Amino acid sequence: MIGLIRAEFRKLFSTQVWFWMLLTSMGLTALGVLGQILSAKSDLALQHDVRDVLTSATAVFTYVPLFVLGVLAITTEYRYQTITPTVLATPSRWALVTAKMITYAILGVLYSLACLAIELAMALPWLSARHVDVSLSQEKGALGSVFVVLVLFALVGLGVGALIKNQIVAVAVGVIFILILDRLFVAIPGVKYIFPYTLSGAVGAIVTRHGSSDRVVNGVHLLAPVGGIAVLIVWALVTAILGAGLTMNRDIT
């Protein structure tokens, strides 16, 4: 398994996609912090919204590049037929998917730390200059929620890539679903109650402050943060298992 994980990192760093996705994630994080602080009407309002500043990375969909990176982990192999020598070297599709999940979990951790570093490097001095007190010990839940969301979305993307091996379809359908479709569910009577179990609903459950009115969306209550984490894990595991068991066990040509 260690050899497979090393091979996955070699594949990853053989192109510049990881670098541009990292740059995109960090850029979106910077825009999130910028927008959140500039939109505050006063320092008093900003003091109340410190958690929103520290979770602003999720408000600007920083997790989408991680999702795309996860999708590319498998679909790129099919697109350029590197899957053939990969499978010849390691016939077990389950081992391949497991190695990729471990690799991209590690990658998600590194990306998350980079985004949090940008967030703190911008937010802390700026908030201090505006006389807003920030206690990181009290806001560790906010930082932890961003960390968890970014890591898990890399795995969700990998699962979707395993399930839908066509790269263009997987990326397009996944991004459209995240940005548009699952947010439409909450506006449809009767259907809206599945929103907490969608990707966007899970993100909201994880990052939204406990007791906030934002935890109720169009009459639908979001899950507890632990429930949101569980939903993302289930999305990742179910798609990866279905992909390994069905799609990846079909003819690879």
Q: Which position has the higher pLDDT, 90 or 178?
A: 178
Global pTM? 0.84
174: which 2 tokens?
């996944």
Report, as an integer, the average pLDDT of 11-24. Answer: 87
Enumerate the domain spans of the chain.
2-178
Percent of the chain with pLDDT over 70: 90
State pLDDT tens for residues 68-89: 998 888 888 777 677 666 666 6
DSSP one-letter string for the chain: -HHHHHHHHHHHHTSSHHHHHHHHHHHHHHHHHHHHHHT-SSHHHHHHTHHHHHTHHHHTTTHHHHHHHHHHHHHHHHHTTTHHHHHHH---HHHHHHHHHHHHHHHHHHHHHHHHHHHHHHHHHHHHHTT----TTTSHHHHHHHHHHHHHHHHHHHHHHHH---HHHHHHHHHHIIIIIHHHGGGSTTTGGGGGGSHHHHHHHHHSPTT-GGGEETTEEPPPHHHHHHHHHHHHHHHHHHHHHTGGGS---
State pLDDT tens for residues 171-215: 888 888 888 888 788 888 878 888 888 888 888 888 887 766 677
Report, as an integer, the average pLDDT of 218-236. Answer: 87
Report, as an integer, the average pLDDT of 155-165. Answer: 85
Report, as an integer, the average pLDDT of 235-248. Answer: 77
pLDDT of residue 211: 64
154: which 2 tokens?
């890399």
Confidence grade of residue 249 (pLDDT, cut at 50, 70, 90): low
